[in-house]
Amino acid sequence: MIEHPITILPRPVQLPHPPIYVAAFSRPTVEMAARNGFNVIFAPFAASMMFGSLEAAVSEFKQLAQEAGFPDSKAKCSYFFGIADSKEEELRLKERVLFYLQSVTPAFPGDRATAPPHIAYFADIVEKLLSMAPEDLGERSVMTGDPERCIEQMQAIEAAGIEEVILYFNMGAYPHPDTMRMMERCAKDILPAFAAGARA
């Protein structure tokens, strides 16, 4: 806790400050963000574990924010992303995602008995990740398939109340040239469906 005012340089251009987003993996974090007028970033798999679905998580957050006097609070979410033209390509993407997720589990508490109480729920996430197979990864964490399927999933996410989606292209030792090609393909095949003209 900072006990006296401090000066941060360079000063932000936006007033009174840039938008603040809080990554929320637990209900108490969602409640804290809503009470303080912060925006929120959900990991859809964690939102589903907490609230039953991404849509329910967004709805509850926005209701809490409204009750706290912050009706304009926003929600983002993040997905691992890769357009896939075949089931084999989908499986390879899911293998990379799971490799990444399992490789970071040592950074999280893995034992509820020794974990700090406020992050003990991470033990459940670690247990689930370590017991998963690539085929178990679904639309709560991965956006994949052909462009039409990715667009449909993005539209469902938008309908759930999400204003912005963060896409992770480079995970699981994906080579940089392949990452760049996938980003270009997303810009060409996915993003035009969400341009202002396309919506009209």
pTM, whole model, 2 decimals? Answer: 0.85
In a domain, 11, yes or no: no
Element (H, E) at 124: helix 122-130
Identify the pLDDT of residue 194: 92
Average pLDDT over residues 50-70: 95
**Count of residues making up the chain:** 200
> What percent of the chain clears pLDDT 90, i.e. is strictly above it?
69
Name 38's Cβ contacts closer than 8 Å, sequence gap at least 6: 20, 21, 22, 32, 73
How many domains in the chain?
Answer: 1
Q: Taking a C-beta distance cutoff of 8 angstroms, is the pair 189, 83 a contact?
A: yes
Please tell me the distance from the alpha carbon of residue 77 to that of residue 93, in angstroms, as a whole number: 19
For 157-172, write each residue's pLDDT tens digit: 999 999 999 999 998 8
Reply yes or no on whether the pLDDT at 18 is more than 90.
no
CATH code of residue 37: 3.20.20.30
The label of the residue with tokens 């006097």 reads: 69
Choose among 130, 137, 108, 133: nearest CA to 121. 108
Per-residue pLDDT, 31: 96
Domain membership flag for residue 162: yes
Which residue segment(s) compose the domain that 104 sits in?
Answer: 21-193
Whether 69 is in a domain gets the answer yes
Q: CB under 8 Å to 192, separation ≥6 — which residues? A: 198
Q: 2 or 29, which is more confident?
A: 29
Please indicate, yes or no, if residue 199 is contained in any of the structural domains.
no
- Region 1-8: mean pLDDT is 78
Residue 198 lies in a domain: no
**14 located within any domain:** no
Return the pLDDT at 60.
96
With cut-offs at 50, 70 and 90, classify the pLDDT of residue 198: low
pLDDT in tens, 120-158: 888 888 888 899 999 999 999 899 999 999 999 999 999
For 61-118, what is each residue's pLDDT tens digit?
A: 999 999 999 999 999 999 999 999 999 999 999 999 999 999 999 988 888 888 888 7
pLDDT band per the 50, 70, 90 thresholds, residue 57: very high
Helix (H, G, I), strand (E, B) or coil at 67: helix
Token look-up 């009750």 returns: 67
User: For residue 168, is it within any domain?
Assistant: yes
Q: How confident is the model at residue 199 (pLDDT cuts 50, 70, 90)?
A: low
Tokens representing 4 are: 């006296």
Q: Does residue 1 register a pLDDT over 80?
A: no
